[in-house]
Structures are given as C-alpha cells and as structure tokens.
Amino acid sequence: MSSQAGAAPAIEASALTKRFGSTVAVDGLTFSVPHGSVTGFLGPNGAGKTTTMRMLLGLAHPTSGSANVLGRPYTELEQPLASVGAALETTGFHPGRTARSHLRVMCVEGGLPADRVDPVLERTGMSAFATVKVGEYSLGMRQRLAFAAALLGDPSVLVLDEPANGLDPAGVAWLRGFLRRFADDGGAVLVSSHLLTEVAEVADRAVVIDHGRLLVEDSVAALVNAGGESVIVRTPNPAPLTTAIRDAGGTVQDGDDGALSIRGISIERVGELAASGGIVLHELRRETATLEQAFLALTTPEMPG
Amino acid sequence: MIELVRAELLKVRTTRLWIGMAIGAVGLTGVSTILFLALANSANAQANGIHPIVTTEDLRTLVFQASGTLAFVLVLAATMATSEFRYGTASGTYLAVPSRMRVISAKSLAAAVVGLLYGVAAATMTVVIAAIWLAVEGKSVPIGAAVIGAIGQEGLRCAYGAALAVGVGAALRSQLVAILGLLGWLFIIEPLGVALLPRFAKFMPFAGVGGAFGHGNESAVLFGWAGALGLAVVWIASVWASAVWLERDRDV
C-alpha cells in the first residue's frame, strides 16, 4: 500500500442522491474521506449508509450527484481490487464454495496474482478454514472472509460495512488494531458501524447521517467535545442541592439511578454548594460526553412535550 | 476477456452443480441411446424413424435422436448467471469487474465452452455405446466423417443454448423463473409454436437454429445451415444485448 497522504481525498461524495420511487434514501450527501484516516460512517438503521457505500462502489446508481474514489468513479478504476477493498455484506458467498476457491476466483477476476490468497487467509485468521465450504461458516467467519476478500488486492482504500458484526472480542480488537495501522500507513478507511464505542476507539473522523442527509462531518474529538462535560452527583437529599445549583446558574437533569446530571457549573463549585448546604453526597464525579451520546443527541428526535 | 472467461469457468468448477448436470446429461443420453438401439429392430419403431444402425447416416441420426444434453446445459448456464444474484456474489463480481457488459460476455463465452464440452461428451458417449452394442451383435461400426461432424454439431448446439441461457438468466435474475422459462420454452412453447405456426418454425431459437446443428428438418431450416447459423448469431446477440441493457442500470 502506498501512502497518498496530502493528495486529494481518497473518497469524495458530492451531492449524492438516491431515490427509490418516492422514497429518498440518500439526499444530497456530500462528504470526503482523506488518506491516512479512519472515518466512521454513522447513522441509525435505515439512514442510508449501505446505499451510500454501494453508490461509492458503483453497485448502485445515484439518482443524481457523484462519487469518486481515488479521483474517479469506481467503475473507471483500472484495477479496482488493487485500489479499493470493500466488505459490504457477509452473504455474498456461494455456500458451496470454499474460502480459498472464493478468493481464487476473485484473484482471476481482478487480475491479481493467485499467491495473494494464502497470505490474506493467514492475515485474517482463516487459514484453518480455507477448505471448508462457506455454507458451514459462522457469521464471524464470513465476516473474516469478507475482510480477506477486501485485502486481496493490497488496496489503499477500505470501505467496510459493519465489519465488527459477528466477530468475537479478540476479532474486534484485531480489527481495531488493523484499521489503525492501515490508516497510520497512509490508507483511507470508511467504516460504518453501530458499535459506536468501537468506532470511537479507532476512528479519527465521523460522518453522521440520518434520513439520507448529512448531520455532521467532523473529527471524533470535536464531536465528543461538542457534547461537553457534566457533573454526576448522587445524594439522598436532591431537592435542596438542585435548588442551590440552579441558583448558582447550573442546569440539573435527573440521571440514571437517582443521580443528578449537572451542567453549567464546575465540579468544584458543585462540591462547595453541597458542603455549604450541609448536603450529604454519595457520589461526585465528572463525566465526559461519549461518541454515543453525541450520536444520540444528533440523531434522536426530541420527544414532544 | 480471457482471464474473465477463466474466472467464470473456475466458478463453475468450484461448485458441484456441473457434476450433477453432467451426470444427468450423460446419463439421459446414455439411456436414450440404449433404448433407441434396443428398439431399432421393431417395426413400430422403424415406422417412427428409428432405424437399425447400418450406415454412417444412421449413426449420425442416432447422435441427434438420443441427445438429452441441451436441457441440462440450459439449466447449468442459466444458473451461472442467476446464482450470482441468488447468493449475492454479484456484488463481489462487479467490484472486481465493474463493466457489466464484460461480465455477461465472459459468462456467455464460458457457458458456451461448458455447453460445447457437454454436447461433445454426451454425443461421443452415444457413439461409444452404439459401437459397443454393434460389436456385441457382431456388426460393423459405421463411423465416418459424418458421425464426427454430428458430435461437433451437437457440441455447437449445446454451446449455442448455453450462451442463450446465460443471457436469459442475466436478464431475469431469478433462478426459478429463468430455468422454468427456458425449459418451458424448450419443451412446451416452442413445440406448440412449431405445430401451430409451422411457417415461423424456421425463426425459432431452438427449432430454427437446430437446423444448423443437425436437429432441424429441411422445412425448419432458414436458407440452409448458413442461414440458421446466422439466426443463431441474431438470437444470441439479441438476448445478450437485452441482458446487458437491463443489467447496466440495475442496482446490486
């Protein structure tokens, strides 16, 4: 894999739109994935993530807009498998074919040397199952095979749809480490996942969509920081503390298990207010927003009051 | 394109369907051959065009009469196209080869190669069984250029059918609909068409084109074998173009 950091984005979607009849699955989506980064592609179920990925890869046709991979539409890449590795689904295998046969077919189709097969099987931990028919695979094994297929051409761009689905904890940890190293070596990764903690641990950037529309495209750090900090307090006597905090300019929300979630004033000030009011505290801690909270704040519609 | 054809042949070899279809094709042809040979001396059979094998022409006719290969070839070839959609492997194929026209072309060529092999194998087996049968009866085996030509014609007929079936499969995508459609056409619709509209038989994809490959009667051949061969090209090109046109704008 050659480093292309500093060049044009590895993936660029521009006003990408896809309609299925009267349903707008993807609505004017514009975002990019730079080299040397892992970009999390986030959104609730049905947000349009998979459709978008399929359009990026030329498998689905945009109603309007365009998508470029390495500066041109995927369908115009000279040797696509050597440029882009994609793992979109765990069902795209003939159940009667072995993993080795599946990869051998891909090598011949993609103009890749057949000696690529064994190294990627080894790399993805599939060597022991290379001659087992795919129909006998578990979801995790299929996921690994999909990933092996994506790596077959030693690409510089990876497009992965829910790659951690079905993997065991060791597999997830391996995947996380692999994607990090891949990006650190200059590769570009676009990875969709509903496992936000996994994305938060590996992704530098996040593209969040809902109802096919872009909600935010930013660094994961910026997204999390936008969620801010809160102070969590647990007390057997919440009423006077709530009043004192509100009088001091803070906001109070009921948290989990009777805890109070406080924003707008520092943890030190909360402690001082409790001490001055003689209020017993069972817990006092700072809580930083998580990617999950930021995601939920962006994608969860407010409940009508 | 050669690499893509190789890939398609590898796809066929790495699953088991081709074995089942080969057993079916060769088995049915073998049973038919034995029945034809066993019945050849009965007066009733001779009234229906089944003759004892005496001349090269008799053996050539037996090759065509006993052939049960085409139906199996149609099923296999249609499956080569439709299984990509049934099992979702089309995504991987189009990721490796984004040009759908190239994929369908490669499949058609690969299917034609497979069909040719099936046709030649089954026809050869007919000749081998007949040779053994005649040898056991103490008769001479009338093998000549016409018989060798019949084996080649049977191979070409199956190659043509396979190329056609890939186009139908790619256009329809549904395995069940494609297979039932092809077999329904071969065994029901076209024979009905030939019976009801004999003037148009020479234009039909199997009855008309069959003339070029030894299966047509004189009245069903359009402008001789060359015309029927031209008709084969027109049918393949039409079905191929329809499949490419439909597939080009479809989502996978």
Among B14, B89, B99, beta carbon nearest to A92: B89
Q: In this model, does residue A304 exceed pLDDT 50?
A: no
| Chain A interface test: which of B95, B100, B105, B246 (most A C-beta within 10 Å) | B95
The predicted structure's pLDDT at residue A1: 54
Is B10 within 8 Å of chain A by CB? Answer: yes
Give the pLDDT band of residue B77 (cuts 50, 70, 90): very high
Average pLDDT over residues B216-241: 75
Rounded to two decimals, the ipTM of the complex is 0.79
The predicted structure's pLDDT at residue B203: 80
Q: In this model, does residue B218 exceed pLDDT 60?
A: no
Q: In this model, does residue A170 exceed pLDDT 60?
A: yes
The predicted structure's pLDDT at residue A303: 44
Is B93 within 8 Å of chain A by CB? Answer: yes
pLDDT tens-digit series, residues A20-48: 988 999 999 999 999 999 999 988 888 89
pLDDT tens-digit series, residues B7-63: 999 999 998 899 999 999 988 998 989 888 888 777 676 667 677 887 888 888 888
- Backbone angles phi and psi of B152, in degrees to 5: -65, -40
* Cβ–Cβ gap B97/A109 under 8 Å: yes
3-class secondary structure for chain B?
Answer: CHHHHHHHHHHHHCCCHHHHHHHHHHHHHHHHHHHHHHHCCCHHHHHCCCCCCCCHHHHHHHHHHCCCCHHHHHHHHHHHHHHHHHCCCHHHHHHHCCCHHHHHHHHHHHHHHHHHHHHHHHHHHHHHHHHHHHHHCCCCCCCCHHHHHHHHHHHHHHHHHHHHHHHHHHHHCCHHHHHHHHHHHHHHHHHHHHHHCHHHHHHCCCHHHHHHHCCCCHHHCCCHHHHHHHHHHHHHHHHHHHHHHHHHCCCC
Among A76, A93, A106, beta carbon nearest to B96: A106
pLDDT tens-digit series, residues A127-161: 999 999 999 998 888 999 999 999 999 999 999 99
| Prediction pTM value | 0.80
Among A74, A95, A106, beta carbon nearest to B92: A106
* Cβ–Cβ gap A105/B11 under 8 Å: yes
